[in-house]
A and B are shown apart, each in its own frame.
Chain A
């Protein structure tokens, strides 16, 4: 599993660690500075959401290849409370914590692909991908 590395999110320091891991993998794949910033920011959002709403979970960064193209995939997984209304959390400005509510919709715009899978009481899995052009 050399193409995948994970960071367990347990305390706030781990958010920084996940971010750094993502930046390194992005650099390694040859992403430019803007995409590096997009990827790091997306990881930061997902990791912080895990820390804030699920207590703990993990963020994995994977190098993926599809045909001729390479990309970076972020997998954020937790076994927290889950999300009951997926449409609502994807709206700009919706927050249950007094935040800006820009995290999830922002990640969707920052990345090329975004899939969210959540079940109340079971947890949340988010997969976000950026392709190298």
Chain B
């Protein structure tokens, strides 16, 4: 077994995930009356409205923390362009035709950037929705604009999130264990992140 995620990285990841999930549940409660019960079971409407923005700040802070840890690992490079060109092979599990990947593959990096920019958009629009009473009367039109931006950004992250969970839990066995325990088998590493694995081997020689 080799180390894939340090303890620090795992704490950061799960802080992000917990804050995101809370915002997701309470956000969906405000999104549609059919899911308002989510706010009810999470302590009631006023409580949810009070904590959603606060946990949103935690989420954004955690994303920035994650960025500090992973900005090098998630920068789009040549191996990602190849991956994206061959993404059909990846999606159809035709893995023999997927080019070898770095620590994160092209798809994971796209997910990262969707979450990163989504988080910033959610934060900026969310701040306006948090304190709408401070939006000057002449700029009233900003209020519905902020809501639309917030909702669209949320939908983008939800789409990315569905794929993320699906990949991590169902499609790539061993990933969830990696994010919990921090370690993967060498075979897992060779299969999914060959370039990264080779780099580690070289570093350990």
Chains A and B are bound partners: no
Q: Using CB atoms and an 8 Å cutoff, list the residues of chain A in contact with chain B.
A: none
Q: Using CB atoms and an 8 Å cutoff, list the residues of chain B in contact with chain A.
A: none
